[in-house]
Structure 1
Amino acid sequence: MEEFPRPVLLVSRCLEFDKVRFNGQKVSSPIVRNLMQFADMKIVCPEVEIGLGVPRAPLRIIRMNDKYRLVQPGTGLDLTEKMNAFAESFLDELGEVDGFIFKGLSPSMGLGNVKVYARMQMSPVVDRSAGFFAGHVINRYRGYPMEESERLLNASIRHHFLTSIYAFADFRNIKSNASVDSLLDFHRKNSFLFMSCNPELFEKMSGLLTGSGKADQVFEEYGSLLKEILRRPGSEYLKIETAKKMFLISDGKDINESSFFEEMLRRYADNRISWDAVIEILRMISFRAFGKNSYKDRFLYPYPEEIKAPSDENREKDYWDNEWNKW
């Protein structure tokens, strides 16, 4: 199998690492747990870093004179400047990073949908926002993969996030060498993946590699397009059309296989089978045509198999071992 790079991630410290939540607990996160063997993780709890204890009185964001403030109603403290200063200082020293996993709804770490109140005490929710620390991350790292741990329980969101962090890690590794040949190889490996996300941006990326620009400029422009193309997954239509193209370029198929694959794509379009089923057929066809080189394709193998979510988490459960089912 193809060897994958190790993404560098910034992760909320309360996710599987330490009991630093306001209530003295840590949070279970299957994706963080699974990624620990395959990624390098930098962890942070901004609330602890600015001197708050564990456990501690909860924080909240309030809107005051049309500006957001980070406050601790239980103590009356306004921690806005302290948190802003810490966030800027921490991110200045962060170094290379490929993605972010934060605790959702946190007034410091939530990436969106954090409640904003009218006042410190006894007040309605008047808005939704990013947490204070996360807001600095969003401003500095626009286009980078970032998700909340709760959203990563969704299979589609998880798949796109994992696909993106491994693409970013791959690109970071080749960028350090600034080799156009390495960039061409990266582009080839990701061609079908990028095609399935946004064909127009894929064409722009391809065009960059046929020009005569300087290597550092090409890498800079290509990196910007990489952020844009992986901002969100492509439509179901684009995935199906990409699967068709990949199938067509693989040699050795007969008319019966082509008909079978067309029918399979129709069943997928009708939501009768999963995308994983389509990918497994493409993997087999691609291996027959290209051998071990097929393992390099990021449309087929976007990240290590070991971190895929289980296809059926309850497969081993015995649904027939019940009192009512013993007649």
Structure 2
Amino acid sequence: MKIVQTQFKPNTIQLGISACVVGQGVRFDGGHKRLGFADRELREYVSYVPVCPEVAIGLSVPRPTIRQVEADNQIRVVGSTDKSIDVTDDLHQYSEQQAKQLSGLSGFIVCAKSPSCGMERIKVYHPEGHTLRHDSVGVFTKALMEKHPLLPVEENGRLCDPVLRENFVTRVFAYHAWQQLVASGLTSDKLIKFHSRYKFLVMANHQTSYRTLGQLISDLSSNSLDDVADEYITGLMYALKQRAGRKGHTNALMHLQGYFKRSIGTNERQALADVIDKYRQGILPLMAPMTLIQHLLVKFPNEYLSQQVYIKPHPEKLALRQQL
């Protein structure tokens, strides 16, 4: 079995990926499921760690297809047509071992519909061949998510949705920033500054988490720093997984607007308010108020706002907010 090991590299975002999604011809038919966004745009900012559980356990390319089959309340991974093929034990063993070795990753892109790599809605069949349900998870991905519950994981197909794509990349960059913080040596001061930078991003995504995390950070003396840090990153990743809508973004934008009241003139203040309202109504995309805010920050510098991750949570070149 081929086990891939990773260690965290502070200056490199390492992203796990199903090998077929990055263009490797490892599928049952010798083909691939190349995702253009991953293999072109995102590749410029990450280092990929390709994994194919089925090839890793010794299955050939090409090979007979496999599926999840339930019998006697147990799911086995067996051949779709050749019932003599049973890779359940090998796949579980590999998945458990591999998941333990991937602690250096900041995210993972898996292949949809795969009995080994699918993230959700995997078909489970009856031994006689008919479909029982569509609610399973690929064996490898299940082990990965159980071992690394905070790790951003997404399927290739879902990343074609602009909202899900932006949300996933935001979580990857946030999780990597947290890994960098921990690797540098966590202190109370560093944790407070980290939260300060992420306040508006959390505000846009999940108001309840915004309040909860603020309360957690406000009293670091009650618990050990490690315990607070664990609770904080769990809460942060939960908050960022919630997809921000126009209501959440509008709320965050209006709070940002408040910081300009004393520095900008009446015309500029009204122009910003108008753009934010047109975004709220769905007339303008999110990039419109964000671009204006960045322009105002150049003209009227504000150190606190300039450090807000919400203003630029990922590289602008990815253009992930143009369709939001």
Please tell me the TM-score bracket, short chain as reference: 0.7 to 0.9
Give 1:192-207 correspondences, 5 Å limit: 192-207=200-215
1:275 to 286, 290, 308: 286
Between stretches 249-258 and 58-67, larger displacement belongs to 249-258
Letter in 2 for 1:233: R
Q: Does structure 1 residue 31 correspond to structure 2 residue 42?
A: no
Name the CA distance, whole Å, in 1 between partners of 2:212 and 2:117: 35
Give 1:192-271 correspondences, 5 Å limit: 192-211=200-219, 212=221, 213-250=223-260, 251-271=262-282
Name the CA distance, whole Å, in 2 between partners of 1:286 and 1:207: 29
Shift of the alpha carbon at 1:309?
Answer: 4.5
Q: What's 1:43 paired with? A: 50
Q: What's 2:188 paired with? A: 180
> TM-score when scaled to structure 1?
0.87
Q: Does structure 1 residue 144 correspond to structure 2 residue 174?
A: no
Count of aligned pairs between the two proteins = 308
Letter in 1 for 2:200: F
Name the CA distance, whole Å, in 2 between partners of 1:133 and 1:27: 17
2:314 to 292, 303, 312: 303
Q: Flag the 1:280–1:47 CA change in 2: closer, same or farther, 3 A.
A: same
Name the CA distance, whole Å, in 2 between partners of 1:138 and 1:154: 22
Shift of the alpha carbon at 1:308?
Answer: 2.7
Name the CA distance, whole Å, in 2 between partners of 1:288 and 1:202: 29
Q: What is the percent sequence identity of the aligned residues?
A: 23
Q: Secondary structure at the match of 1:290?
A: coil
Query: Unpaired segments of 5 or more residues in structure 2?
Result: 1-9
Name the CA distance, whole Å, in 1 between partners of 2:308 and 2:18: 31
Q: What's 1:7 paired with? A: 13
Q: Secondary structure at the match of 1:162?
A: helix
Q: Does structure 1 residue 58 correspond to structure 2 residue 65?
A: yes
The Cα offsets for residues 98-127 of structure 1, whole Å up to 9 and x where unpaired, read as 211011111111101122221264x23533
Name the CA distance, whole Å, in 2 between partners of 1:186 and 1:259: 32
Q: What's 2:74 paired with? A: 67
Shift of the alpha carbon at 1:205?
Answer: 1.9
Letter in 2 for 1:281: L
Give 1:48-127 correspondences, 5 Å limit: 48-76=55-83, 77-119=85-127, 121=129, 123-127=130-134
Shift of the alpha carbon at 1:173?
Answer: 0.7
Q: Secondary structure at the match of 1:60?
A: strand
Letter in 2 for 1:140: K
1:164 to 143, 168, 171: 171
Q: What's 1:20 paired with? A: 26
Say whether the 8 Å CA contact 2:21–2:33 is kept in structure 1.
Answer: yes
Shift of the alpha carbon at 1:311?
Answer: 4.9
Letter in 2 for 1:92: K
The Cα offsets for residues 193-236 of structure 1, whole Å up to 9 and x where unpaired, read as 11111233222222333321433222222122112211212332
The Cα offsets for residues 270-315 of structure 1, whole Å up to 9 and x where unpaired, read as 2211111121112122333326775532111001122235959xxx
The Cα offsets for residues 169-211 of structure 1, whole Å up to 9 and x where unpaired, read as 0011111211222222211211111111123322222233332
> TM-score when scaled to structure 2?
0.88
Q: Flag the 1:120–1:47 CA change in 2: closer, same or farther, 3 A.
A: farther
Say whether the 8 Å CA contact 1:71–1:80 is kept in structure 2.
Answer: yes
Query: Unpaired segments of 5 or more residues in structure 1?
Result: 313-327
Between stretches 174-183 and 100-109, larger displacement belongs to 174-183
